[in-house]
Amino acid sequence: MSEENNNLGDDLKKGAEDALDSAKDAAKKAGDKAGEFADDAKEAVSDFAEDAKETADEFVDGVKDAFNTESKDNKKVLAGILAIVLGWAGVHKFILGYQKEGFILLGITLISIPLVCLAIGAFTMYLPGLIGLIEGIIYLTKSDEEFYQTYQVGKKPWF
């Protein structure tokens, strides 16, 4: 029986060693797979970060193009339409960078509102709107280069 116990003990020992070797191999394979997965994840995150940065840069460029205040066409059309629609408030003057003239038109309008009770208020109330209408038509009928040179480079504030 002692010999059987020895054989059985040897078999158990060998089985335990085989199981330990198998477990070590499995752990090594799992570690290798985990390392590959981590490398793939790092690469995916890096690619995502690059794509996100590129998309953000494209978005910023698009926004800059959309709101570019140096653009001749956009400023001309915007100033012309705002002069016709909101000329009484001087909005087109603010768009072109003429703050003083914009406040003059807005001030005339605001002062004219309470003066409507008097005859002078009825007359002065329509002046800023008429000025805006005339300037809007002038802005829209000028060529892009002429508008740019006259109102953005030359800074001509009125008509």
pLDDT band at 84 (very low <50, low <70, confident <90, very high): very high
pLDDT value at 64 more than 80? no
- What is the average pLDDT across 20-35? 79
3-class secondary-structure state, position 126: helix
What does pTM read for this prediction?
0.51
- Tens-place pLDDT, residues 123-142: 888 888 899 999 999 999 98
Nearest to 87 by CA among 139, 149, 122: 139
Burial class (CB in 10 A: 0-12, 13-18, 19+), 76: buried
- What's the confidence (pLDDT) of residue 158? 78
